[in-house]
């Protein structure tokens, strides 16, 4: 019995090692494209729904009750968009991985989650802390979200196509630019979210599409 347990443990360890050394093909261009469109659509909703009082209050250097309510609305709107994006990505990751990786699918999905989930959890935790303890600093969130997503991309670099590194570079550059520029009169600008996430997700979709292997008839998996 002990020999059987040891053999099962060794097989599980081999599967984990194979999963770590194999390019993960669970990410697909459709989900990246859909989430890019979602970012643009959310920015349009914000432009009509939350146009005031955020920029005026930030420009005046004050965060009164109305401005805080607007900032919370910003977080709720983009938080909901983020949850939808995670659901879309998660559905495609699971369905594609089980179709492409077959026997290694579960191990590959766990490895991909272990690389990306910490950045997502950190983003949610930072958001909750600022909402609770420092609502006047909520203008930092667009930049922080982009920086954390870039770290998730960098953490996943071993299992993604090599050019995908540029997606992480894009999000890091955008995050730093938002922290430096998207404040005062430009705080909570919907385009500080739409441009980084829209372009970033479309870039990811294009890179994944180009990197997908073709079948003999030219079709992609």
| pLDDT surpasses 50 at 60 | no
Q: How far apart are CA 89 and CA 103, in angstroms?
A: 21
Number of H helices, E strands in the chain: 8, 0
More confident residue, 9 or 205: 205
Q: Decide if pLDDT at 198 tops 70.
A: yes
Percentage with pLDDT > 90 across the chain: 42
Angle between helices 65-100 and 105-133 (to 10 degrees): 180
pLDDT of residue 11: 45
- Asked if residues 77 and 43 have their Cβ atoms less than 8 Å apart, the reply is no
CB count in 10 Å sphere of residue 68: 17
* Beta strand segments in 141-192, E: none
Looking at residue 68, what is its pLDDT?
64
pLDDT greater than 70 at residue 103: no
Residue 192 has which token pair?
């500080």
Predicted confidence band at 171 (pLDDT cuts at 50, 70, 90)?
very high
State the Cα angle at 49 between 150 and 137, rounded to 5°: 50
Average of per-residue pLDDT across 137-150: 93
pLDDT for 27 beyond 80: yes
pLDDT for 120: 93
Report the pLDDT value the prediction gives residue 7, as an integer from 0 to 100. 45
Please tell me the least confidently modeled range out of 43-52, 142-151, 172-181, 192-201.
Answer: 43-52
HEC string of the chain? CHHHHHHHHHHHHHHHHHHHHCCCCCCCHHHHHHHHHHHHHHHHHHHHHCCCCHHHHHHCCCCCHHHHHHHHHHHHHHHHHHHHHHHHHHHHHHHHHHHHCHHHHHHHHHHHHHHHHHHHHHHHHHHHHHHHHCHHHHHHHHHHHHHHHHHHHHHCHHHCCHHHHHHHHHHHHHHHHHHHHCCHHHCCCCHHHHHHHHHHHHHHHHHHHHHCCCCCCCCCC
Give every CB contact of residue 10 below 8 A, 6+ residues apart in sequence.
none
Average pLDDT over residues 11-31: 64
Q: What pLDDT is attached to residue 42?
A: 96
């Amino acid at each position: 019995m002990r020999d059987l347990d040891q053999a099962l443990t060794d097989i599980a360890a081999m599967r984990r090692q194979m999963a770590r050394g194999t390019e993960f093909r669970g990410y697909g261009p459709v989900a990246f494209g859909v989430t890019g469109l979602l970012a643009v659509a959310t920015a349009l909703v914000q432009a009509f729904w939350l146009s005031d009082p955020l920029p005026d209050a930030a420009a005046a250097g004050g965060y009164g009750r109305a401005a805080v309510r607007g900032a919370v609305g910003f977080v709720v709107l983009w938080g909901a968009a983020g949850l939808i994006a995670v659901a879309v990505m998660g559905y495609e990751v699971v369905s594609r991985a089980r179709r492409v990786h077959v026997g290694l699918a579960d191990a590959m999905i766990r490895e991909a989650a272990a690389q990306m989930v910490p950045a997502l959890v950190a983003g949610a935790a930072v958001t909750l802390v600022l909402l609770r303890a420092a609502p006047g600093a909520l203008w930092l969130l667009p930049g922080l979200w982009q920086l954390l997503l870039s770290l998730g991309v960098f953490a996943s670099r071993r299992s993604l196509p090599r050019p995908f590194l540029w997606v992480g570079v894009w999000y890091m550059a955008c995050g730093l630019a938002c922290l430096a520029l998207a404040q005062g009169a430009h705080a909570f600008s919907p385009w500080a979210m739409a441009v980084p996430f829209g372009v970033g997700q479309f870039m990811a979709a294009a890179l994944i599409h180009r990197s997908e292997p073709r079948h003999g008839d030219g079709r992609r998996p």
